[in-house]
Amino acid sequence: MPTQVIPEKVNAIAELMEGAGMNLDPVLLGFSGDGSTTGCIRYSLTREPAMEILSADGQLHRLWPITDCHWIEAITEELRTRPAHIADGHHRHAAALQLQRSKEGRAWDFFPALLVDIETSPMQLSPIHRVLPSADPRQALDAARTRFKVQSLSGGVDDWITSLNQQATIGPAFVLVTSHGAYIATDPHPDYLKQVQRDSPAPLRHMHLAVLHDALIDDLWKIPDHPETINYEHTAQSAVQRVLENSGVAVLTTPPTREELESAALAGVCLPRKSTSFGPKPHPGLTFRTIEGN
């Protein structure tokens, strides 16, 4: 699925991969299976794994090598006709393509991936929250109030997320967290949204995350899309903690729906950076692929 990447991060990963001479982690790919690939996985599960690791986060990882030529040929042929979307690892993939263009030899044409049949093993879809360290909290809230309904929230982070999830079923909703409290922004003015999204691709106009960037971050707050001005956190607690420690504004969001993602993918529309977090992810450092000799 097309998504924007951060060039500085891509360059850093490419430099690390080139220096180490290896692909450090696989990307996470989702596809609709129930064919040869799924059959191979089911067959492998009947055998003892070559490796079993319980990671610190409580996830159990098992590895099975596939060396049978029959299975390899069947999987390769099937995947020629089945599209797969990158659920996690866009920057690693972009870095690999960057190295492929600058290097000679077929070894740079390959890249490891964890392939997940989303029909039999649906992936979890979680939001990625925004932290705006340079935003002035008072000015940000005042600007939001000119085009959104903004109400204060009581309680703690879990209470705020509950309110956010409830409001998001009705329309665009975001929790704005400052060092002085939390607020929920809802009900953007319809005419304003039409104006600010007049050049946006149709599949993005109702996606809440696109509304966040088009209306609040880009138009009302005028915050440039740069790693120094927009940070990303995978948990609401960590986003809030950063604001409590360093000021600024955290924006807690909900993830796009699967229908919205499929619509954008079919249209070839590029999503905002860090739109989604799919899981469970491959554990970092569990598998490596060396370039030399391949």
Do residues 33 and 82 make contact, with C-beta atoms less than 8 angstroms apart? yes
Neighbours of 205 (CB within 10 A): 14
List own/partner pairs for 38-42 with CB under 8 A and 24 or more apart: 38/117, 38/120, 39/74, 40/66, 40/71, 40/74, 40/75, 41/117
How do the domains of the chain map onto residue ranges?
A: 7-124+278-290, 128-267
Q: Helix 69-79 vs helix 36-44: angle between axes, to the nearest 10 degrees?
A: 140
Helix, strand or coil, per DSSP, at residue 226:
coil
How far apart, in Å, are the Cα atoms of 292 and each of 11, 17, 18, 96?
A: 21, 12, 11, 15
How far apart CA 129 and CA 233 sit, in angstroms, is 5
Contact 23, 17 (CB under 8 A): yes
Of the candidates 249, 182, 247, 241, the one whose C-alpha atom is nearest the C-alpha of residue 212 is 249
Predicted structure pTM score:
0.71
CA separation for the pair 165, 99 (Å, rounded): 41
Question: CA 241, 126, 5, 267 torsion: positive or negative?
Answer: negative
pLDDT of residue 291: 81
pLDDT at 293: 53
Give the pLDDT score at 238: 96
Question: What kind and span of H or E run contains 55?
Answer: none
Any alpha helices (H) in 87-156, and if so which ranges? 90-102, 137-145
DSSP three-state, residue 183: strand
Q: What φ, ψ does residue 176 adopt, rounded to 5°?
A: -100, 120
pLDDT of the residue at 1: 47
**Strand, helix or coil at 92?**
helix
CA gap 125, 101 in Å, rounded: 32
Q: Give the model's pLDDT for residue 90.
A: 81
| pLDDT tens over the chain, length 294 residues | 455 677 888 899 999 988 888 888 888 888 877 678 888 888 888 889 988 888 777 778 888 888 889 888 988 888 888 877 787 788 888 888 898 888 877 788 888 888 888 777 777 788 999 999 999 999 999 999 999 999 999 999 999 999 999 999 999 999 999 999 999 999 999 999 999 999 888 888 889 999 999 999 999 999 998 888 999 998 999 999 999 999 999 999 999 887 887 787 777 777 787 887 777 777 777 788 888 755
Q: How does 213-245 read in b/e, with b if 16+ C-beta sit within 10 Å?
A: bbbbbeebbebeeeeebbbebeebeebbbbbee
Helix (H, G, I), strand (E, B) or coil at 266: helix
CB 14 within 8 A of CB 95: yes
As a whole number of angstroms, the distance between CA 95 and CA 12 comes to 8
CATH class of 128-267: alpha beta
